Structure 1
Amino acid sequence: MIIRPATTADMDALVALEASFPEEDRFDRRTWRRLLSGHARVLVCETAPGGLLAAAVMLYRKGARIGRLYSITVAPSARGQGLARGLMAACEADATDRGARAIRLEVRVTNSSAIRLYEAGGYRVIATLESYYPDGEAALRMEKSLEAPSNGAP
């Protein structure tokens, strides 16, 4: 598994990767262009050049100490292979490198497989956001601390 930053050369593969999502949840070419323009960190997982199997988008606000995992996508044919976990670890490392103390995300309350993945990765629910998505579905806001736990030493 190779995880690397996405480039504009990945545009077609990123758009194709989103095809498995419902239309209202897909990023179109214009959105990918904006995300790749530098205000976000897009990481991709590939097996061969041009063969993208998964992607994750991290958003950062200037001066903020919390990164936002905005999106994580795995091709249906590649699910269950640990790609999402690998991308999450890469996103957490990127956020730590940028000085973030935590990562937050939102997930549909009905997306039980993603919720299990995030909980297994140490994320915890901090809020329920009613009518969060355009179709009216609620979301869970989840967060993971990136700070090393204190060992009790003075």
Structure 2
Amino acid sequence: MSPTPATAAVRVRRAELSDLDDLVALEEATFDSDRMSRTQYRRHLDSDTARVLVASANRRRFLGTAVVLFRKGSSVARLYSIASKPEARGKGVGSALIEAAEAAARQHRCRTLRLEVRTENHNAVRLYERLGYHRIGHHEHYYQDGSHAWRYEKALA
């Protein structure tokens, strides 16, 4: 059994077109509904109003991704999507992606980062709360499959 990567070994960078196959494969493996398509990823890769981030270890080992959206004239950014490979969960990948998303939001002069999370995704809820996110709302039947969502936000210093 190989050792698990420590948080320090996780690197986050801006996604490139060469990551498209990995991004789509992870999206399809992670989400049963509300999936981003290859076309949507491609559009986000070239957009000024989106940042697609990739987490990896050992140079090219793809571990996860996050998508942050920005609206022109708004000081609020949105963590639109975050996913990690099952073998990478609990190893700092989510935290590294969220920290990189926050940094991207700050670069866009945003003062707040918001997100939605399935109410039954207890692991993600714990992660967001541990990282300083506060619950600000609830959406009934938010997802395509009818699941409900909590809404969270964090003020960025």
Give the TM-score of the pair, scaled to structure 2. 0.88
User: Matched residues, percent identical?
Assistant: 46
- Ranges in structure 2 where 5+ consecutive residues have no aligned partner: 1-9
> Is the aligned partner of 1:51 residue 2:61?
yes
Structure 1 residues without counterparts, runs of 5 or longer: 148-154
Aligned letter for 1:53? Answer: L
Native 8 Å contact 1:20 1:76 kept in 2: no
Give 1:2 shift: 1.8
Name which of 24, 39, 42 aligns with 1:33.
42
Instruction: Tell me what 1:128 maps to.
Output: 138
Equivalent residues of 1:11, 1:32 under 8 A apart: yes
Aligned residues: 147
Partners of 1:21 and 1:53 lie apart in 2 by 12
**What is the TM-score normalised by the length of structure 1?**
0.90
- Aligned-partner SS, 2:72: coil
> For residues 112-138 of structure 1, what are the alpha-carbon distances to aligned partners after superposition, in whole Å with 9 as ceiling and x for unaligned?
110010000100110101111111111
| Residue 19 of structure 1: how far off its partner (Å) | 3.0
Q: Note the C-alpha offset of 1:77.
A: 1.0
Q: CA RMSD in A?
A: 1.3
Q: Does 1:82 align with 2:77?
A: no
Structure 1's consecutive aligned runs of 4 or more residues displaced over 6 angstroms after TM superposition are none
Q: What is the identity, as a one-letter code, of the residue corresponding to 1:143?
A: E
State how far apart, in whole Å, the 2-side matches of 1:77 and 1:26 are. Answer: 21
